[in-house]
Amino acid sequence: MFERKRYQFGYVRQKPRKTGPHVWVWEYRDRSSSHSVILGTVEEMSEVEAWKATESRRLIINDPQSADQTSFGAVIDRYIREALPEREVTRSRYLSWINCHIKPKWRDNPIAEVKPLAVELWIRDLKLAGRSKGHIRDMMHLLFNWAMRWELTPIDRNPMSLVRVKGSSKRTKIPRILTIKEFNLLLERLKEPYRTMALVALFLGPRVSEVVGTEMERCRLGGFEYLNRSVLGGR
């Protein structure tokens, strides 16, 4: 008779640290030894969310061959919990691509079913500028890199490197340029800090993400000291 293999759940517990908040730790045993994996801090997730974070790992230790059946949504959720950049502007941009486009389309698909041609056709039909489509393809590429790092899919050539995006540097329409009168009318209706952000964008010509990043840094330092010193050259 074959002995039925016992499913390994392990257990989740809080672990104190000398500095900073306590962390959730998942502990389990395999044939060789015991293991301990930090899932996140108690400030970042509840116990229920900590258990949810063990889902993809439990699939691997109980049945390594089932890793490819892990949903792409599980990869996305783990990336958001563990690997999303800390810089606020980058984090916001990545979450926008994920939540508005990638997650609604691919979250329920097993990783093995997210194929290059299907992704290429999906991106082609998105009502977005070519550059935005390129960003979404790059985000998919990044998610697959992390899936391989976590051993949720075989470590091989990233399938998203086969996805082609045409016209990624071309606009889909001519931008609307405000007249001086229109811009002045806009300024009259803007409150701070948006009025200053609009003036910086007009006179210095940075990207929107750079304007937002500058404002966030100004808020962190307090007052207009940062804006005056770093952006306007101390004038």
pLDDT higher for 60 or 71? 71
Is pLDDT at 56 greater than 70 in this prediction? no
Contacts of 47-53 with CB under 8 Å at 24 or more apart are: 47/12, 50/12, 50/24, 50/26, 51/12, 52/77, 53/24, 53/26, 53/78, 53/81
Section 27-44 average pLDDT: 78
pLDDT single digits (tens) 143-196? 999 988 887 888 788 999 999 998 655 555 667 888 889 989 999 999 888 888
Are 212 and 89 in contact by the 8 Å Cβ rule? The answer is yes
How many other CB atoms are there within 10 angstroms of residue 109's CB atom?
14
pLDDT for 62 equals 62
pLDDT for 231 equals 47
E strands within the chain?
11-15, 23-29, 34-41
Q: What pTM value is reported for the model?
A: 0.54
CA-to-CA dists, residue 203 to 107, 142, 211, 232, angstroms:
42, 35, 12, 10
Section 61-70 average pLDDT: 58
Distance CA 27, CA 22 (A): 15
Residue 69 tokens read as 């059946």
Distance CA 56, CA 65 (A): 12
pLDDT for 31 equals 63
Give the residue from 56, 51, 39 showing the smallest Cα distance to 146. 56
Phi, psi of 43 (to 5 degrees): -80, -25
Distance CA 167, CA 172 (A): 9
Distance CA 90, CA 127 (A): 22
Confidence of residue 10 (pLDDT cuts 50, 70, 90): confident
Residues 6+ apart with CB under 8 A from 55: 70, 74
pLDDT for 3 equals 44
pLDDT for 144 equals 95
Is pLDDT at 221 greater than 60 in this prediction? yes
Is pLDDT at 219 greater than 60 in this prediction? yes
pLDDT for 222 equals 62
Residues 6+ apart with CB under 8 A from 188: none
